[in-house]
Amino acid sequence: MTGVRVLVGTRKGAFICSSDGTRQDWDVTGPLFGGWEIYHVKGSPADANRLYASQTSGWSGQVIQRSDDGGKTWEPVGNKFSYDGTPGTHQWYDGTPHPWEFARVWHLEPSLHDPDTVYAGVEDAGLFKSGDGGQTWVELPGLRGHDSGSSWQPGAGGMCLHTIIQDPANPARIFTAISAAGAFRSDDSGQTWRPINRGLHSEGIPDEDAEVGHCVHRIAMHPSRPSVLFMQKHWDVMRSDDAGDSWHEISGNLPTDFGFPIDVHAHEPDTIYVVPITSDSLHYPPDGKLRVYRSRTGGDEWQPLTAGLPQRDCYVNVYRDAMAVDSLDECGVYFGTTGGQVYASADAGDTWSPIVRDLPAVLSVEVQTLP
Amino acid sequence: MGGSDVIRVVLPSHLRRLASIQGEVQLEIAGAVTQCSVLDALETRYPMLRGTIRDQDSKRRRAFIRFFACEEDLSHELPDAPLPAAVAAGSEPYLIVGAMAGG
């Protein structure tokens, strides 16, 4: 029997929600790692039983947890993230130089092929890699060492590397995104990097079309079409048809083009999802209505999806890592809110229902489709 | 001060859960009983605590961790300074505390 496992990271622990292929009845287990912030939990595409979790705390720093049995048991693995060489400085909020300091792991991206290989995107922005199941971590310093590195600056949530995408057709190609530096691409397995931000336009930076400095919130790709990327930027929803070499805006008829997550339907590469948020200072949906917007045309034309979602008095946010899709025949779509709800749609977004309503604020949602 | 003493250490609940510790930890310390020697012994027995109390390289205490004993705040003592005799003798515990910072 096929099924899904939804991996939820929250401000106060992790939760695992399981269901069969109908996705109607859910078993919720947790909290795991109660009291700790769980920025991200993700399973290996090569082994569904291998999970990684980023567990952090303002008191006690970073812990990485690993499960080899689908989340039934966990063990702490390596938590030493040392920047390569002398870290140097980036820009602080006020434009002054600020030393690079490790704060936490925002995002864990297991290899497409090897359960023991996993990438970590960290704050202050850097990319780390483990080849031994998370026991030891080494930086891929070419990214942070890019000529522009000293000019990168934090977004409101910190200077985080939050998006890591591997190109399934080209193992040497990796995409990353950093708030607020922008998007970067490597074509040599992470050794060297180039900014891929041409076409982005951001108010609030001295040169609105600069090569770096854009607050990219999230990038998504469909694995069958890796040269097409979709981006939710601080403001603007963007699309690239040339692996990031250039971007054009696809915000179209969205009620606001501010937001955090963006994702792609598992079987329709031109069907994409965003959750419009009022503005950078009003981190809640417009008009108190929680609406997912879906485009079936690869952008520009958007349709609100509201069935089963609160359409009055709703003032939650949806963070950048808190949306995911499963790959069952009828694609499932999932997202979590700062109000602790995790919503699921078993019909590609047409209708929604909560898996669970009262968790701590949700930081991340990932889904595993189980055989 | 020297020999082999049994030191009592109390950890905050989130670190006890991380290391699967019930109650106090009892550590045998060979040599001087200091913040550094206590944490060295603690991290040797519970490697998952490395980095959660002090930096793994610099050994500096994390900013939101405090060390108390005998109703005194020892957070700012030098890492190699002797701990109070009552801690070294095991009659008083060494308290590793998360700073009161809400959350």
Give the domain ranges of chain A: 3-169+247-370
- Say whether pLDDT at A15 is over 80: yes
The answer to whether the CB atoms of A79 and B50 lie below 8 A apart is yes
- Say whether pLDDT at A191 is over 50: yes
Cα–Cα dist A364/A283, whole Å? 17
Which of A36, A58, A82 lies at the smallest CB-CB distance from B101?
Answer: A58
Q: What is the DSSP letter of A117?
A: -
The residue among B101 and A110 whose pLDDT is bigger is: A110
For residue B71, give Cα distances in angstroms to A113, A217, B24, B53, B93: 55, 48, 17, 20, 10
Cα–Cα dist A146/A140, whole Å? 11
Q: What confidence tier does A29 reach under pLDDT thresholds 50, 70, 90?
A: very high
Range A75-81 average pLDDT: 97
Cα–Cα dist B51/B60, whole Å? 10
Min distance B5 CA to chain A CA atoms (Å): 27
Q: What is the mean pLDDT of chain A?
A: 97
Q: Which positions ≥6 away from A134 have C-beta within 8 Å?
A: A52, A64, A66, A77, A78, A118
- Say whether pLDDT at A213 is over 80: yes
Closest chain A CA to residue B65: A59
Element (H, E) at A36: none
CATH code, domain with B33: 3.10.20.30
Question: Would you state the pLDDT for residue B5?
Answer: 73
Which of A35, A63, A82 lies at the smallest CB-CB distance from B52?
Answer: A63
Number of other residues whose CB lies within 10 A of the CB of residue B72: 10
pLDDT tens, position by position, B62-98: 999 999 999 999 999 999 999 999 999 999 999 999 9
Question: Would you state the pLDDT for residue A47?
Answer: 98
- Say whether pLDDT at B3 is over 90: no
Q: Is B63 a domain residue?
A: yes
Question: Would you state the pLDDT for residue A371?
Answer: 87
How many residues are listed for chain B in this entry?
A: 103
- Say whether pLDDT at A251 is over 80: yes
- Say whether pLDDT at B1 is over 60: no
In CATH terms, the fold of domain A3-169+247-370 is Methylamine Dehydrogenase; Chain H (2.130.10)
- Which residues of chain A have a CB within 8 Å of the CB of B65? 59-60
Range A243-269 average pLDDT: 98
Cα–Cα dist A345/A332, whole Å? 5
pLDDT tens, position by position, A303-361: 999 999 999 999 999 999 999 999 999 999 999 999 999 999 999 999 999 999 999 99
Question: Would you state the pLDDT for residue A22?
Answer: 95
Contacts of the segment A345-354: beta carbons below 8 A, 24+ positions apart: A345/A305, A345/A308, A346/A22, A346/A23, A346/A24, A348/A265, A348/A271, A348/A294, A349/A273, A349/A292, A349/A294, A349/A305, A350/A305, A350/A307, A351/A307, A351/A308, A352/A292, A352/A305, A352/A307, A352/A308, A352/A309, A353/A308
pLDDT tens, position by position, A122-161: 999 999 999 999 999 999 999 999 999 999 999 988 999 9
Containing structural domain, residue B91: 4-98
CB proximity under 8 Å: B 44-73 to A = 48, 50-53, 56-57, 62, 64-65
A85 touches chain B (CB under 8 A): no
pLDDT tens, position by position, A42-58: 999 999 999 999 999 99
Cα–Cα dist A291/A287, whole Å? 10
The answer to whether the CB atoms of B101 and A59 lie below 8 A apart is yes
Q: Is B103 a domain residue?
A: no
pTM, whole model, 2 decimals?
Answer: 0.96
Min distance A332 CA to chain B CA atoms (Å): 34
Q: Which positions ≥6 away from A185 have C-beta within 8 Å?
A: A173, A174, A175, A176, A193, A194, A196, A243, A244
The answer to whether the CB atoms of B15 and A63 lie below 8 A apart is no
Suggest the residue from B18, B59, B66 to mutate for an interface test with chain A (most A CBs closer than 10 A).
B18
Q: How many domains is chain B partitioned into structurally? A: 1
Q: Do residues A68 and A49 make contact, with C-beta atoms less than 8 angstroms apart?
A: yes
- Which residues of chain A have a CB within 8 Å of the CB of B48? 63, 76
Range A102-130 average pLDDT: 98
SS (H, E, C) A256-319: CCECCCEEECCCCCCCEEECCECCCCCCCCHHHCCCEEEECCCCCCCEEECCCCCCCCCCCCCC
Start-to-end CA span in chain B (Å): 40
- Say whether pLDDT at B2 is over 50: no
Question: Would you state the pLDDT for residue A204?
Answer: 85
The answer to whether the CB atoms of B51 and A61 lie below 8 A apart is yes
For residue A234, give Cα distances in angstroms to A215, A261, B35: 5, 10, 46
Closest chain B CA to residue A36: B14
